[in-house]
Amino acid sequence: MKNQVTLFKNASIFMLDRIIDQGWILVNENGKIEEIGEGSPEVLTHDVIVDVQGKSIIPGLIDVHIHGGNGYSFLDGRYDSLAEISAFHAKHGTTAFLATTSTASKERIIKALTCAAESFEKGMPGADLVGVHLEGPFINEKRSGAQEKSDIRLPSINEIDEYMEASKNLIKLVTLAPEVKNGYEAVKYFNDLGVTVSIGHSDANFKEVIEAIQSGATHTTHHFNGMSPLHHREPGVAGAGLVLKELTTEIIADGIHVHPEMVKLLFEMKGVWNICAITDAVFCAGLPDGEYERVYVTDGQVYLSDGSTLAGSTLTMIQSLKNVISFTGYSLFDVLPSYTMVPARQAKIDHLKGSIEKGKDADFLIIDDEFSILSTYVKGLEVFKLS
């Protein structure tokens, strides 16, 4: 579908530093934001007018940790799977995402990365595929969670190079355990390649986290989950993420992976500009309760067959946003950075996405006062409309 010059008017527009109560946005034929204004729009050349009728326009939500949805997984290694994931999550507020692997054989990971590179060139029907999050296989078996233990491997520069080549350098974020053999070298190598390095599925102690930061780590994966816990004599990764300003922390705010009061604590201690909200959604996000391959879903909770190990989530970004507002008492304006600019920064796309600014991609949502999504726009094109 080709872009047209589109004027959005009569909108409450959520900017980085303020809300325009009655404003307008002009989107050009390249899907970029051309102009933003207040009040009645000037006489502007346009092809289409969208009257927002007083509803809110907020930046599109960016998910840097998403494995699948609607019955499909990134590790399927097929374009149609990624397209289904893209379309599903666009309905729920995601306008850009990092397709995320999990620990698997090298061959399976390479197949998925090759597919991501091809899909990136082809384009997505919904949320924009902007890169890859390599979660595993370089993790600690002690904190593997639902990751496949038999496929965990020590970091290898040769294997890293194979992954970068297969993805055509689309890997933007990597989760690893720095304390394992060759771990710090891998942190430095990924950092030198321009990849954001995240500490996750890690049993590192506080001192080892400091060494990882000195090697280039700047992020933690699904904070409080899959990591050495907070203890008064050993803070572990969980404690380090709370107190070290060098680390941006992911959070799965479904109220299942992390207690709502702990979510609130994280926001109070870190602040919205140091928290990256994620879904960690797996293939069964959007599917009804039931038994699926290796997992079962009950009340939206995903467990391995052992009945106790959480295996990702069925969370969506818009539901996460609603949850955090409820858990913390913060306003929509207050929490938006954790869903927009912070993930954009960590994925190294904040020059293109993450806020409603002149020159950036026209990725945004039209929502009502109850945070229901009326429309999702990606690069100026409507990819979802509530019927």
Whichever domain contains 378, its CATH number is: 2.30.40.10
The active-site residue out of 280, 334, 361, 368 is: 280
pLDDT at 125: 98
Least confident of 125-134, 299-308, 320-329: 299-308
- Domain range holding 142? 61-346
Same domain, residue pair 187 and 146: yes
Q: What is the pLDDT of residues 84-124, one digit of tens each?
A: 999 999 999 999 999 999 999 999 999 999 999 999 999 99
pLDDT at 194: 98
Same domain, residue pair 250 and 362: no
Backbone angles phi, psi at 209, to 5 degrees: -65, -45
Q: What is the pLDDT of residues 133-159, one digit of tens each?
A: 999 999 999 998 888 899 999 999 999
Same domain, residue pair 10 and 79: no
Q: SS3 for 247? A: coil
pLDDT at 82: 98
DSSP H helices, 236-316, are: 236-243, 260-270
pLDDT at 43: 63
Q: Which residues lie across from 268 on neighbouring strands?
A: none
Q: How far apart are the first and last CA of the chain?
A: 20
**Distance in angstroms (rounded) separating the CA atoms of residues 4 and 6:** 6
Same domain, residue pair 365 and 255: no
The pair of three-digit structure tokens given for residue 233, joined into one six-digit string: 């004599």
Same domain, residue pair 161 and 301: yes
pLDDT at 1: 60
Q: What is the pLDDT of residues 26-59, one digit of tens each?
A: 999 999 999 999 998 876 777 899 999 999 999 9
Is 145 a member of any domain?
yes
pLDDT at 271: 98
Task: State the pLDDT confidence band at 293, using cuts at 50, 70 and 90.
Answer: confident
pTM score of the predicted model: 0.96
Same domain, residue pair 139 and 23: no
Least confident of 67-71, 201-205, 283-287: 283-287
DSSP 337: G
Is 1 a member of any domain?
no
Task: State the pLDDT confidence band at 298, using cuts at 50, 70 and 90.
Answer: confident
Q: How far is CA 307 from the centre of its chain?
A: 27
151 catalytic, yes or no? no
The total number of structural domains in the chain stands at 2
For residue 2, pLDDT over 90 is answered with no
- CATH code, 311: 3.20.20.140
pLDDT at 310: 80
Mean predicted lDDT score pLDDT of the chain: 95
